[in-house]
Amino acid sequence: MKSRDTLIRLRRFQVDEKRRRVAQIETMVAEFARMAGDLDREIAAEEQRSGISDLAHFAYPTYAKAARTRRDNLKRSADELTAQLSEAQAELGEAFEALKKVEILDTRERSAERAAEAARDQAAMDRIGLARAMRA
């Protein structure tokens, strides 16, 4: 009983840990997307200020080039995190399944224990009833 409760607590902890990891990755992906959007707006504003939007132009703004590089790096990082997110979600699913298996087993064992206890109680009541019937 004690080890079963410990196992359930361990599985719940693992599920919570996987949920935190998934949430953290989702937050990072969203933050990278927001930052990339901000950089897109800055690039557009810089191109508009300079009047040059051709990357190959010799006078293309240096800040816009640097912002494009940073934006591209953020997008690549977000793509890598999205792959990690899929993996983390799969791990979360597996951890949740493991928890459910242990909880179902626990429920079954507790039901069996209650049934055995009820049978013992019924047998004791039957003995008492039989003893009274024999005295009468």
CATH number at residue 47: 1.10.287
Segments forming the whole domain that contains residue 13: 2-105
Mean of per-residue pLDDT scores for the chain? 93
Count of structural domains, the chain: 1
Residue 116 falls inside a structural domain = no
Q: Which residues 6+ apart lie within 8 Å of 65 measured at CB? A: 55
pLDDT level of residue 68 (50, 70, 90 thresholds) = very high
Residue 111 falls inside a structural domain = no
- pLDDT score of 1: 59
pTM over 0.85: no
61 and 42 Cβ atoms separated by less than 8 Å: no
How many CA atoms, within 13 angstroms, populate the side-chain half-sphere of residue 8?
12
- pLDDT score of 136: 67
Percent of the chain's residues with pLDDT above 70: 99
